[in-house]
A = this chain, B = another copy of it.
């Protein structure tokens, strides 16, 4: 019945409402149902000797869902997991949210305190945990102050130490469930699908909440923005606990491809898997790609099909992009944060770049680029005025995102949520310039900028130079206190196997390639502390630099 309202003069708003036939809330859960229907016998997941088809994976996810519901799990509950990239982890990305519950993937490198904090903050009712992490999870459970249901994953591909902590094994849990479970999407596409805690350097971790709509859209956008063909073979080098593997569990279900699991990042194992499983696609932090580029050539023998990689999670050093080009892997750089469902911008390649000298190509390809298809905007704004910076490659501003690939907000943290969305954009905290072609080029995390004698030094720029030195495997530059300049750069360097070099030689190399005030005043050699996703932990280095400064 057409009444008198604001739309009474608009003929397109009368008698054309949503109904069960023409509206379904967006959810990536629809993709696994589609692949199981159309490709029941295609291989969905490979894990060592284990092989599953799409119908099997779907049935396992349905068993999981029905077993969870039988234990009282319902809409708005939290199910936490402490898992590697295993079939169980993949199944949880479907079997948990289909119940209306929210999947909270925990970083396997956390300490017991952090795990306990997250389990309590997220109000997890069930925890599914891999035996390998019992030394963390056990103490964490003791700190909880309440009891929750614990389910063990006892992976046949894991042969190391560990204890079973739970009341039941994952396979026994599945046996409680039924594959006849009715698969259905959420009531509302704005409903939460997952919870990812960010590893802040100060204060408590923040719980980033994703919704079904965003997960659906980024699952599609990964395919369209990367140009991923149907039935790709995807190697899980990126942890699924990190931004839900950049939404790739759902992308691969839409793609009806094959997930190749991997418990740990090891270049020899990765290259072996790429060869044996004819892997076509993978994602990872620069360190993952760097390991592949620097691996002995014989490990890569027999890999002559095309391999495409997405690189992100930290600004990629130019040398890594160059190294990958040399071994014939096609690398695309994407950028995003936990708050943006993983990648939400891409350094879209232009055909004319391929005619440029390699060095220039590498510079162009290493940028944060332009928006993903499903994102509305990436831009660089002055955070005080919210004015866009000119496209002059010089004026610094903060990278901001806007669109459907931005989180719902931080769980139970309205203050942080509001701050992060101030002015109608998500504030990344990354500093950047806008280049003449409208591509964003990151300069630094705001907290990583080194302010020396009033001048800003981009730690990334100094690192890029260090990476160009043939002896350097990995490098990180941080601020260290200096009585004269306030701060000066200190360089931490991990050398390639079998090479040696002195501090003086490194400093000399820097002087040849950069302004004098940017040259590190100190060089420390040794392995760099990294997160599980390969991000170098600069706050650790900052502490080290400070204590070295104090001693000297």
Contact = CB atoms under 8 A, between A and B. Distances in A.
A327 B138 CA distance: 65
A424 interface: yes
Interface stretch (A156-164, A223-231, A308-316, A479-487): A223-231
Query: How many A residues are at the interface, by size bracket?
Result: 35 or more
A254 interface: yes
A407 to B, nearest CB: 6
Interface in A459-476: none
Contact of A227 (B15, B20, B190, B229): B229
Nearest to A256: B348
A403 B24 contact: yes
A144 to B, nearest CB: 17
B220 A373 contact: yes
Given A20-B421, A22-B404, A24-B402, 16 more contacts: A11-B412, A16-B192, A16-B417, A21-B401, A21-B421, A21-B425, A22-B408, A22-B409, A24-B403, A26-B404, A34-B370, A39-B348, A39-B350, A224-B224, A227-B229, A229-B229
Given A21-B406, A24-B376, A402-B20, A15 B412 contact: yes
Interface in A198-235: 209, 220, 223-224, 227, 229-230
A49 interface: no
A18 B412 contact: no
A224 B220 contact: yes
A38 interface: yes
B417 A10 contact: no
A354 interface: no
A365 to B, nearest CB: 14
Nearest to A191: B12
Contacts of A30: 376
21 contacts: A11-B123, A15-B409, A15-B413, A16-B408, A20-B421, A20-B424, A20-B425, A21-B401, A21-B402, A21-B424, A22-B407, A22-B426, A24-B402, A30-B376, A34-B371, A34-B373, A39-B348, A39-B350, A220-B373, A224-B230, A227-B230
